A and B are shown apart, each in its own frame.
Chain A
């Protein structure tokens, strides 16, 4: 009997159509928690990390956490895990909405897709009934169209995770879209789904989640609810303003990457800020499963060339198609956001790729004859055209853009114009100003992502406590434990990170223990986060990554040209070795035998 967990992994081989159900190993739950931790472990164990990520040997895993679907605050999360075709690292993209809880109600903590279907299919999972159905009629459709069609063919309450046209074309910026508009966006996980000819996963679950000690669970969950709704940041700010209220703040700090990271102050910040969104295009909030925060914005551009309506734009998107492209037109930014949804692509990498293309054009490296039109910073119309070309994978230039800015810049012989790490584009916080982010971008297991170690919380608004962004002392430990390791734990529990301004691991384990009947504790949660992080590192080492890949673009070592932080630069080399030591790794960034033994990982690491 399982509690909290649904207790089963559903395994679907798309080559031979075999469907199997396996019980979850309780020891794995104790060691890797669930969600991100569990699926990352399974990926490592079941697959050679050196395989071709767009080949049939790659495995695509959907993983929900033990708390997902229980009704705990914001317990909506699931992950999509595979080897990334964009970066070659482990990929683990996180998303909210309602798909993860539905997996649990259907009886599954994880769903694993193996092999490759001969023709486009979608998989219909209706509690214990699993069907692999033809999807030719869905090919080419947008996520909203797919959601409509699949629910009409199955059940109005079905939850759908799918790929847009970009994933079908194996564009490396493609994500997995669930609940019509939410994305497990980064790392090209949508391309992996497309490489398997898997257009959609439809889930309907009529079961419920058993709780080992319902009274203690609900007591703890109500305590968390009270903390969250009384917290000025989690609830007061996110609910009222969403994420884009960071625009003016980061810009006033002089840390707002502009025109492909050439500058860090944007003259169009006020016009493209959270305040501007609220005044001009915001319609209302939207929430995920069991979440009172409702941070999602729903916005609308009523008419004109950028007409559209939908969720977003969020902070990163507003930045990527705003300051990063030098564009001050908020409606165009919103339109780019809606296009990313319709194509099913990662808006951070997409905006960053357009920005890279702009710099390549302006410097004369990418000729207009290749692009088809002038593509300058600040040109909103050209930005939209470029986004469409990228989403459609239209022509040679469209194909280059669709595979991200690393490959685009390399093609034109200027890899120094790629603003990312391990082929993943950086996010909306300058590593020249935030030294914690400099270290995190360089060392994050999936490349330069921000969210899995977002030290901006400490370096900007003082959670857990304020540390100046330019300070170096103590940043190694800050990045390692309260950010990277902790986020690994939270991602594995199924709770949304946005609760973490109000609560800590203590509150999360206070729900996990009575939900599951397993002895989750604060002390163990620290080890679990560490173990999950190291597991991901081992995958990457096996895939061929080395310490040389823990780096930043050269531009980040140049001084900020203007604004309040003029002269500041990323000081990564001053703290990278200390970070390795604190992690229990050698000077090559490889976990030592002692560290592996401490985490119980020695038997799975065979490389000396």
Chain B
């Protein structure tokens, strides 16, 4: 088993309302679990609610396997600027 540090931001915070903004919680997960499986299998978050995933500060695809001690931060679809085309 591995320990993954999880942070939930924006509307995802409703799933762990006892936590302060930016406070992480530890999550035990099977070795080499992927990001996607952590989200829907272990954390049990609806997939549509999770749009942005950072693992150790870097964008990650759902297929990426996690390592012990990884920090994962999750957001719903959010934005703050402007875009193109």
Interface of A is mostly: helix
Q: At the interface, yes or no: B79 with Cβ under 8 Å from chain A? A: yes
Q: At the interface, yes or no: A252 with Cβ under 8 Å from chain B? A: yes
* Contact stretch, chosen from B29-37, B38-46, B48-56: B48-56
Closest CB of chain B to A454's CB: distance in Å? 4
Closest CB of chain B to A459's CB: distance in Å? 9
Residues in chain B near residue A461, CB distance under 8 A:
51-52, 77-79
Residues in chain B near residue A88, CB distance under 8 A:
none
Chain B 37-76, CB-CB to A under 8 Å as 1, else 0, gives: 0000000000000011010111100000000000001011
Whole-angstrom CA separation of A238 from B73 in the bound complex? 20
Interface of B is mostly: loop
Q: At the interface, yes or no: A564 with Cβ under 8 Å from chain B? A: yes
Closest CB of chain B to A291's CB: distance in Å? 15
Given known contacts A276-B21, A468-B59, A233 and B77 CB-to-CB distance under 8 angstroms: yes
Chain B 10-30, CB-CB to A under 8 Å as 1, else 0, gives: 110100000011110000000
Q: Which of A233, A464, A466, A486 contacts B79 (CB 8 A)?
A: A233
Q: At the interface, yes or no: A457 with Cβ under 8 Å from chain B? A: yes
Closest CB of chain A to B51's CB: distance in Å? 7
Given known contacts A270-B20, A564-B57, A565-B57, A457 and B82 CB-to-CB distance under 8 angstroms: yes
Using CB atoms, name the residue of chain B closest to A232: B77
Q: At the interface, yes or no: A504 with Cβ under 8 Å from chain B? A: yes
Residues in chain B near residue A487, CB distance under 8 A:
82, 84
Whole-angstrom CA separation of A486 from B7 in the bound complex? 35
Q: At the interface, yes or no: A53 with Cβ under 8 Å from chain B? A: no
Whole-angstrom CA separation of A238 from B81 in the bound complex? 10
Please tell me if the beta carbons of B78 and A241 are within 8 angstroms of each other in the complex: yes
Residues in chain B near residue A466, CB distance under 8 A:
59
Using CB atoms, name the residue of chain B closest to A437: B81
Residues in chain A near residue B79, CB distance under 8 A:
233-234, 237-238, 243, 246, 457, 461, 463, 501
Q: At the interface, yes or no: A450 with Cβ under 8 Å from chain B? A: yes
Q: At the interface, yes or no: A60 with Cβ under 8 Å from chain B? A: no
Closest CB of chain B to A298's CB: distance in Å? 18
Whole-angstrom CA separation of A415 from B76 in the bound complex? 41
Closest CB of chain B to A475's CB: distance in Å? 12
Q: Which of B11, B51, B73 contacts A240 (CB 8 A)?
A: B11
Please tell me if the beta carbons of B59 and A464 are within 8 angstroms of each other in the complex: no
Q: Which of A241, A243, A564, A565 contacts B81 (CB 8 A)?
A: A243
Residues in chain A near residue B76, CB distance under 8 A:
232, 236-237
Closest CB of chain A to B22's CB: distance in Å? 3
Please tell me if the beta carbons of A249 and B9 are within 8 angstroms of each other in the complex: yes
Q: At the interface, yes or no: A78 with Cβ under 8 Å from chain B? A: no
Residues in chain B near residue A245, CB distance under 8 A:
9-10, 75, 78, 80
Chain A 212-237, CB-CB to B under 8 Å as 1, else 0, gives: 00000000000000000000111011
8 further A-B contacts with Cβ under 8 Å, apart from A248-B10, A270-B22, are A270-B20, A275-B9, A451-B81, A454-B82, A457-B81, A464-B85, A486-B84, A564-B56
17 pairs across A/B with beta carbons < 8 Å?
A: A234-B79, A237-B10, A237-B76, A246-B79, A249-B52, A252-B73, A275-B21, A315-B81, A454-B83, A454-B84, A457-B79, A464-B84, A481-B84, A497-B82, A500-B84, A501-B83, A564-B54
Chain B residues with a Cβ under 8 A of chain A:
7, 9-11, 13, 20-23, 51-52, 54, 56-59, 73, 75-85
